Amino acid sequence: MTVGEKVIKLTVRDIKVGGKRVLVRVDFNVPLDEETGAIMDDSRIRAALPTIEYLIGGGARVILCSHLGRPKGRVVEGLRLAVVARRLAKILGQPVETARDCIGPEAATAVAGLKEGGVLLLENVRFHPEEEKNDAAFAQALAKLADIYVNDAFGTAHRAHASVVGIARYLPAVSGLLLEQEMINLGRILEDPPRPLAALLGGAKVSDKVSMIENIMDKVDYILVGGGMAATFLKAKSYCIGQSLIEADRVATAAELVARASRSGVALLLPLDVVVAGELTPEAEGEVVSIESIPEDKRIVDIGPETIKSFQGSLMKCKAVFWNGPMGIYELPQFAEGTKALARFMATLEATTVIGGGSTADAVADMGLAGHMTFVSTGGGASLDFLSGKVLPGIEVLPDKES
């Protein structure tokens, strides 16, 4: 897949699934409460429902596999997927069986017991170190459980792991309905986006978004920069940024992006004012200052009210907005107003609004605004890679519809 090229992949709608054992790679990497282990947000589970329900309705025997957390190739009891199976069963209104492993005799026995329309969730694939190594034998062991492979995990599509890429070499492979929607909605930004188009960018690092900014520069009309990455851009324009964290090796890159935007006629907007604080604690208090008056002993923790108004003014002019990255330290409520204010504003826009995954999607979900956006991606890093024009291994391995 090349940059901006529209590629249509085969999906579950293009194959016969009745009676088949269909292994679906889903992204059930849901946030868990550290103390109770309870699911804090089930958005990723719900996002997979269209594919799961389609397969159930078609009489498939549905085998789901996913990772959860970062167990680093060993069994971690707190990262077992039983809690996810219980939530999925409640949402589906039918039982969801579980297996204590994702390969081997126990998994095979569980699959053998599945009836048409039944659902089984295998154990955390990352309990095996071979998963992240894209080990061929591990991929084959997964493939033995099924007749068809479906990738519906956009959040891991940029990872060349065994359950994402390896298994597709041993089974007929197609896209799930969620993965299809991700490609369609993000693809529009690359192919023929409604104009004017704004990219609202935040988060901590410039380095995470350089490739994406470069790739979409000729497609956007506005680039609005907030979050921690704004400090690097302000440094590039010779502002004093106090104790704000920057990527020193990216200051020159930021300066070049500003210059390139100017040459391309793109309005690249930086904060006019910011919230600063001395310490990052639950009790910390922030103060609003102009970007010309950032104290030496404090750091930027959010965008200020004048910046919010400025950004809203630009967004109001747009027919499409892509947003990735919070505007401040969202984890601390007192430094989350910039993010919340722009989320509330975007929910009112009569425009195409696409939310990049990760913390931005989490923030929108926390506020109950996901339903007011055109599309909320389930992949943070994957959405950035996709918009950067990079090849996503989990998508590349799937056959194109024309073939």
Give me the residue spans of the domains in the chain: 12-178+392-396, 185-377
| pLDDT of res. 6 | 56
The neighbouring-strand residues paired with 269 are: 224
Residues 84, 45 contacting (CB under 8 angstroms): yes
pLDDT digits (tens, 9 = 90+) for 336-367: 999 999 999 999 999 999 999 788 999 999 99
Band of the pLDDT at 204, cuts 50, 70, 90?
confident
Task: Determine the Cα–Cα distance for residues 129 and 292; give it in Å rounded to an integer.
Answer: 50
pLDDT tens by residue, 230-254: 999 999 999 999 999 999 999 999 9
Confidence band of 260 (pLDDT split at 50, 70, 90): very high
Q: Which amino acid is at 305?
A: P
Angle between helices 358-366 and 380-387 (to 10 degrees): 120
List the catalytic residues: 44, 205, 358, 381
Q: What is the pTM of this model?
A: 0.91
Q: Residue holding tokens 């410039």?
A: 206
- To which CATH superfamily is domain 185-377 assigned? Phosphoglycerate kinase, N-terminal domain (3.40.50.1260)
Do 280 and 329 meet the contact criterion of CB atoms below 8 Å apart?
Answer: yes
Is there a common fold for 12-178+392-396 and 185-377?
yes
Q: What is the DSSP string of 340-396?
A: HHHHHHHTT-SSEEEE-SHHHHHHHHHTT-GGGSSEE-S-HHHHHHHHTT---HHHH
* Options 3.40.50.1260, 3.40.50.720, 3.40.50.300, 3.40.190.10; CATH of 12-178+392-396: 3.40.50.1260
